[in-house]
Chain A
Amino acid sequence: MSKSVVIKGGTILNQDGELRADVKIENEKIIEVGKNLKADIELDASGCIVTSGFVDLHAHLREPGKEEAETIETGSRAGALGGYTALVAMPNTDPPQDSVAVIDFVREQGKRAGLVDVIPSGCITLGRQGETLAPMAELSQAGVKFFTDDGFGVQDASLMRRALEYARGLGVTLAQHCEVAELTKGAVMSECQCCTDLGLPGWPAIAEELMVFRDIELVRITGATMHFLHLSTARSVELVRAAKRDGLPITAEVTPHHLSLTQELMASYDPVYKVNPPLRSIEDIRALKLGLLDGTIDAIATDHAPHPRRDKEMSLDMAPPGMLGLETALGVVLAFGDLEIKDAVALLSWNPARIAKVDNAHGRPISATEPANICVFDPELSWSVDLQRLASKSTNSPYVGRTLRGKVRHTIFKGTPTVIDGQAQK
């Protein structure tokens, strides 16, 4: 029998309101919410919010294939430190997650690490090549509910239509990285005045928006469920808003970095700011934030993309896109997101749990009999990133030297503390 745990003195935040009470946990479940509770392990939560663990819809854990950048274990630890209890693992591994064998491997490695639920996503097309469908029914039987070729949008409209039709039959969700490849050949940064000055090939907003539009219309004729990954432009938000008004079964996410960093940072020539989709303008950030406020965008997802240092020491055009996100997401969202704490938690936990279809175990209320996947965070604590102390194997965080607000203090996964006082427990 595992040791009992009590979280003392915090403010419980649930969808239906707040409550000052202790939370007692035993055998992977919350057994009591009340005053003056006692247990084997006591975790102080004074001044802290106690809420359901976060769920990341978009984490690159790099295993199998690029263990130099991250492993499922190190990525899980980074996740736990960021308050996460579930991570949707992106399929661009090597080999990619387009077979049951790889899906099982990723899930097993997640269990072995035992720090978060690692939820493998599946590829839409074999090898993410955009040519033939992956065995989605087999993968679905192996438990995959979320499919994407992340990094490569499915370019062929006819194939995407078939994928959506097929997905509808299986009851799974397809997620798209929206980018019309012909418009972004060689692109390094957002197409803007700064890219004019730098002489870098620009990434026009319309490359994203055309595919958002196409896929909305494909959802309209197929009726499948679709999720839009990391929206970055104002017009994308408008398109999704209109589609939701029409009642289409779509959801969308935004990353913490697209809410906090702008394209002008590329003028520092530091490849740490190169990301796909690229950092955009302050006007785009404003539109994305409005999209969060009115529910057009359902979730904040990290797009945690570790890269070894030598890869990010390449030139701007050669360096791979992507930045770390798991350990900083909450701090960035509370510092830069202009969100109420409750809305931030909805975007980091409740909503993504639903989209990933893991809301039987994650994003649950803090109340007796519920699974004990819990995040305890101090919403006011200011802090800054120390690259030496990151749990991730990589160090490509763009937030060095920036003050973040809100830090995870404790994380409980399946009743066991994975993080206590900001320290990973294993």
Chain B
Amino acid sequence: MKHLRSIDELGANGLLQLLQLTDHMAEINQRPVPKVPALRGRTVASLFFEDSTRTRLSFETAAKRLSADTLTFNVSTSSVNKGESLRDTVATITDMGVDAFVVRHKSVGIPWQIEQWTKASIINAGDGAHQHPTQALVDCYTIREATHTTRFDGMQITIVGDIKHSRVARSNIQAFSMLGAKVTLVAPPTLLPPDVSHWPVEVNHHLDEVIPTSDVLYMLRLQSERMSQGHVPTLREYSEQYGLTQKRVATLRDSALVMHPGPMNRGVEMQIDPSDVKNSLIHRQVANGVSVRMAVLFDLLGSGANLGGQA
């Protein structure tokens, strides 16, 4: 595998292999000194054109634990603000000798466009509303960890919220279905893409109808600008119809898992404290972020032989 840009591109086998590799990384992270020399001499550049806390930090932590060198590209202090084109920025950093770019950009397709300007591997850390494959890997790994299953055959996963503008949803729908889950999308029609008839999903506009049969309830963040754009009348109304309330938590199955990719909008889609939910995986999602991204970096950049030693 040269790049990781979408779950589709990765395929079911690639997905399963990465999840398996993540187990090894999780083991490394349990050690007193969670660091191995696997990527010594390799350089990973994070190219974040959009704000990010957990994704950027977990990639950088992952790279450091594998002993790779890291470059952080900060858009606000970079030459991009002097009008440097994306092509020149990528070419310039490539010239410094970079093995991988971790890219986040508000525009769809950037990880594919920059391929023509660099020989480095490209990891998509989120492109517009399109794909966020490492988040999907994190989520699959987290569900596997909680359910002790390899695949999700027969599992009912419900994704709630702003599907239309969500790269997390697009990657997760692909990943969850590849592993055999039945995916249901719950949102008002205004927050769904114009036509999802070709997606392997069910659609329901009423959250209360699907909660009792869900094995996993995956809540998405609702951005407040969706109100001014006319997607929802008010946040209060959205929150009543699609938010996770104490009352709704009570109708969850005992074994049901609750997830959220963060950052949470408390009082909007999350009207409760996640710690009030018995099976909330939200903290595990963050914790697993580093292991998953170590697996991705190792798979793309590693020689495959030197995972065992001490740094």
Task: Report A's interface with B, CB cutoff 8 A.
Answer: 188, 191-193, 195-200, 202, 204, 268-271, 310, 313-318
Minimum CB–CB distance from A306 to chain B (whole Å) comes to 18
Q: Which of B109, B198, B199 contacts A315 (CB 8 A)?
A: B109
Asked whether any CB of chain A lies closer than 8 Å to the CB of B33, the reply is no
Given contacts A193-B195, A269-B108, contact A315 B170 (CB under 8 A): no
Decide: B196 and A196 in contact? CB cutoff 8 A: yes
Decide: A196 and B85 in contact? CB cutoff 8 A: no
Q: How many residues of B contact A (CB 8 A)?
A: 26
**Total A-B Cβ pairs within 8 A:** 66
A sample of 12 more A-B contacts (CB under 8 A), given A313-B86, A314-B85, A315-B107, is A191-B195, A192-B195, A195-B193, A196-B195, A196-B196, A200-B130, A269-B108, A270-B113, A313-B87, A315-B105, A315-B109, A317-B128
Residues of B within 8 A of A196 (CB): 193-196, 198-199
Q: Across the A-B interface, give the 10 residue pairs with the lowest CB-CB distance, nearest first.
A: A199-B129, A315-B107, A269-B109, A196-B193, A269-B112, A199-B130, A191-B194, A316-B109, A317-B107, A193-B198
Residues of A within 8 A of B199 (CB): 196
C-alpha spacing A191/B192, complex, angstroms: 13
Asked whether any CB of chain A lies closer than 8 Å to the CB of B110, the reply is yes
Decide: A200 and B196 in contact? CB cutoff 8 A: no
Given contacts A193-B195, A199-B129, A200-B128, contact A310 B107 (CB under 8 A): no
Given contacts A199-B130, A310-B85, contact A316 B195 (CB under 8 A): no
C-alpha spacing A270/B87, complex, angstroms: 14
C-alpha spacing A316/B107, complex, angstroms: 7
Residues of B within 8 A of A202 (CB): 194
Residues of B within 8 A of A313 (CB): 85-87, 113
* Nearest-neighbor residue (CB-CB) of B198 within chain A: A193
B136-165 CB contacts (< 8 Å) to partner A: 165
* Nearest-neighbor residue (CB-CB) of B169 within chain A: A199
Decide: B170 and A197 in contact? CB cutoff 8 A: yes
Asked whether any CB of chain A lies closer than 8 Å to the CB of B76, the reply is no
Q: Mark B91-121, 1 if CB is under 8 A from A, else 0.
A: 0000000000000011111101100000000
Q: Show 29 A/B contacts (Cβ-Cβ < 8 Å), sorted by A.
A: A191-B195, A192-B194, A193-B197, A193-B198, A196-B196, A199-B130, A199-B166, A199-B167, A199-B170, A199-B193, A200-B108, A200-B128, A200-B129, A268-B112, A269-B109, A269-B112, A269-B113, A271-B113, A310-B87, A313-B85, A313-B87, A313-B113, A314-B85, A315-B107, A315-B110, A316-B109, A317-B108, A317-B128, A318-B107
C-alpha spacing A268/B130, complex, angstroms: 13
Residues of B within 8 A of A270 (CB): 113
Interface hub of B86, B87, B107, B170 (most chain A Cβ within 10 A): B107
Decide: A315 and B108 in contact? CB cutoff 8 A: yes
* Nearest-neighbor residue (CB-CB) of B49 within chain A: A315
Interface hub of A269, A270, A317 (most chain B Cβ within 10 A): A269
Residues of A within 8 A of B130 (CB): 198-200
Minimum CB–CB distance from A296 to chain B (whole Å) comes to 27
Minimum CB–CB distance from B126 to chain A (whole Å) comes to 11
